[in-house]
Chain A
């Protein structure tokens, strides 16, 4: 009834339609966890960890044995920095104590920050368009999907897929990422969206709000994922168009995502709602 050629064309059209429907569903629900998704992470993870450790060992050999000349200078510089840091720490201690006194005086609820667990980045996303990393901590270490991941410099991202000993972390510079944030100085609120080339957009900031280049942007805590007050980045560009109620603010994150090696997973119980999808 049908020629072989016609049957082939029908098959190809059918497969294209299936691909389009499948992709159009999954594209709108990024990081919707599929059970099977854990298995490849669990299989690939140990190999990535071994390769990463080998690279770090080689780099350390180079660093420690061939660059000793600059170590003494660096040591002097670090000693000076340490002295400064001790001084700052003393000041911070004073501020912390006065803060505690004032908080108890005002009967404020203590901010929940949760415990943290250190993890090593064992693998990075193979595509430059998507921004995820694999870390060497998983369910066995108490890590759960939705937990925030940070470094001392600021927010890194959140856990989106967990296997026994490894997890996939979705970075804040990924285009599907969103973080509710505040300008530290003026408390102007908006949403940080990733732009995949190392920068973020601070969206939905009202034109009337006071934002200046150099301002620090911190998490607001209102998205239920990231604790309040974590540093995200600083403002590097502002565009106020003649029309529209929002201004376009560009943020450069404090975290250097290209040099990410160790991270801290904040062991905060994730919220029940679907946090990963777009805000």
Chain B
């Protein structure tokens, strides 16, 4: 059931960012929503539950995107690993989410995550085309736009995703308890 939930979330996010968002000029510089999902899995879910999801997600994104194969797998994998490492220091349990200080902390985490994802992409582009330069206004604006968007919306995405997932787990537990009770 958990993996079905992940499948639905991933599919929805991919459809949103490849078909719906490009139709609105406002979201022209929107960040990769799957980076946030990766951060969510890294921060709030067990390692071996999140790892296969991240790897499959990476393969899917590498296949439908224009980057070199392996770029998304690498990016998501390392973001996921870094989040697992970070959680040892933050102890980011669910209680953290509802205080303002932790929303600020989450803002910082999502900001760093999207920045790191973009840095990996930019490095890959630089290796691929050595004469390509990031230092022109239009390209810098893409990055700044993404970072601005993620600071505004990123923490709420994590809070909402965690809340939905917890409700789903609670519902599954209740259902299975009911079923066991009937038997």
Main secondary structure of the interface of A (DSSP, over half): mixed
* Contact of B65 with A30 in the complex, beta carbons under 8 Å: no
Query: Would you list the 8 A-B pairs with minimal beta carbon distance, nearest first?
Result: A130-B66, A132-B66, A40-B63, A123-B18, A197-B138, A26-B68, A51-B19, A37-B63
* Contact of B66 with A127 in the complex, beta carbons under 8 Å: yes
* Contact of A126 with B17 in the complex, beta carbons under 8 Å: yes
A134, B19: Cα distance in complex, Å: 10
| Pick from B11, B62, B71, B128: contact of A28, CB under 8 Å | B128
13 interchain pairs, CB-CB under 8 A:
A12-B81, A26-B68, A27-B124, A30-B66, A40-B64, A48-B18, A55-B19, A122-B19, A124-B18, A128-B146, A168-B63, A196-B139, A197-B142
A 20-36 contacts with B by CB, 8 A = 22-24, 26-32, 34, 36
Cβ of B51 within 8 Å of any chain A Cβ, yes or no, is no
| Pick from A40, A122, A174: contact of B66, CB under 8 Å | A174
Nearest CB of chain B from residue A192's CB, rounded to whole Å: 14
* Contact of B127 with A28 in the complex, beta carbons under 8 Å: yes
Q: Collect the chain B residues with CB atoms within 8 Å of residue A40's CB.
A: 59-60, 63-64
A37, B128: Cα distance in complex, Å: 20
| Residue from the set B15, B28, B69, B146 with the largest chain A CB neighbour count within 10 Å | B69
* Contact of A127 with B69 in the complex, beta carbons under 8 Å: no
Cβ of A62 within 8 Å of any chain B Cβ, yes or no, is no
* Contact of A197 with B136 in the complex, beta carbons under 8 Å: yes
Cβ of B122 within 8 Å of any chain A Cβ, yes or no, is yes
* Supplied contacts A44-B18, A168-B66, 9 more A-B pairs, CB within 8 Å: A23-B70, A31-B68, A44-B60, A47-B15, A125-B18, A126-B64, A129-B118, A175-B128, A198-B138
Nearest CB of chain B from residue A205's CB, rounded to whole Å: 15
Q: Collect the chain A residues with CB atoms within 8 Å of residue B66's CB.
A: 30-31, 125, 127, 130-132, 168, 170-171, 174, 176
Q: Collect the chain B residues with CB atoms within 8 Å of residue A29's CB.
A: 68
* Contact of B64 with A134 in the complex, beta carbons under 8 Å: yes
